[in-house]
Amino acid sequence: MIIDLHLPHGQTQHIQAVGRYLMLKEGKRVTAIVGDAALTMPRGYVFDLGDTFTQLTLTNEGDDPEIELLTSVIPFTSGLDANVMTAFDGAQPVYFAEPPEVRLTEGARRQTGFIAHDTLTQSTTLSGNSNRKELLLQASPTNTDTLWLGGVAERGYGLEPGAGMVLNITKPLDVLIPSNNKLFVSEVVA
């Protein structure tokens, strides 16, 4: 889930959001109180809070008032701009249904929607979507092989069994999925 808000330096806001993993995607530095835990969050670091949370309190400690957080119940890593990955011949696109609009926080600047995951069991190309804000990928923990983002083994980015990743990508993405392995795919759109 993406939480996008305008929060000037030193101000605090209470937010209802579900997740176990939390990352400051945009902004300089934020303090988050989640349950009994107080976190000083630099941009780009993924926190595993151990238990699922349903609300948090944010205080902007940085000078950038534009804050964007990512919460998820599945593990993920930050980084990797997959917009530069290339396609390979013979790939079949995956098309997603139109998402419902969801209001994330009071006073949010935009509406976003979440498309529940699809389970992929063979190599394919995930279709591009100019409205997509995040592409959430998770390799099944029961997989026996590495999945390859970019579509070619030993090139691109390997996704080990059970690993997850969130990408800021609007272009199509080739994925190599060996036999008897699964990839769970979700996306957040604006």
CATH number of the CATH domain containing 143: 2.60.120
Query: Is residue 18 located within the same domain as residue 110?
Result: no
Q: How many CB atoms lie within 10 A of CB 62?
A: 19
Q: What is the full per-residue pLDDT of the chain (190 aa) written as tens digits?
A: 788 889 999 999 998 888 888 888 888 888 888 888 888 887 777 888 888 888 889 999 888 899 988 888 887 766 544 443 444 344 444 444 554 444 444 444 445 565 666 788 888 888 888 888 888 888 999 999 999 988 888 877 888 998 888 888 888 888 999 999 999 888 888 7
Question: Does residue 54 sit in the same domain as residue 93?
Answer: no
Report the distance separating Cα 76 and Cα 53, nearest Å: 16
Which residues, in sequence order, are CB contacts of 54 under 8 Å at separation 6+?
16, 17, 18
End residue of a domain, out of 72, 104, 125: 72
**Which strands sit side by side in the sheet containing 12-26, from one edge to the other?**
2-6, 66-72, 12-26, 46-60, 29-34, 37-42
Residue 152, burial from CB neighbour count under 10 angstroms (0-12, 13-18, 19+):
middle
For 137, the domain range is 82-189
User: Does residue 128 form part of some domain?
Assistant: yes
158 and 87 in a common domain: yes
Same domain, 96 and 150: yes
Give the C-alpha separation, 130 to 81, whole Å.
Answer: 15
Boundary residue ending a domain (13, 44, 72) = 72
Please indicate, yes or no, whether residues 118 and 178 belong to a single structural domain of this protein.
yes
Domain count, the chain: 2
The structure tokens listed for 62 are: 């940085």
Residue 68 lies in a domain: yes
Q: How many angstroms separate the CA atoms of 122 and 174, rounded?
A: 11
Strand (E) positions, 27-104? 29-34, 37-42, 46-60, 66-72, 93-94
Domain annotation covers residue 77: no
8 and 65 fall within a common domain: yes
Residues 8 and 86 in one domain: no
Backbone angles phi, psi at 75, to 5 degrees: -65, 150
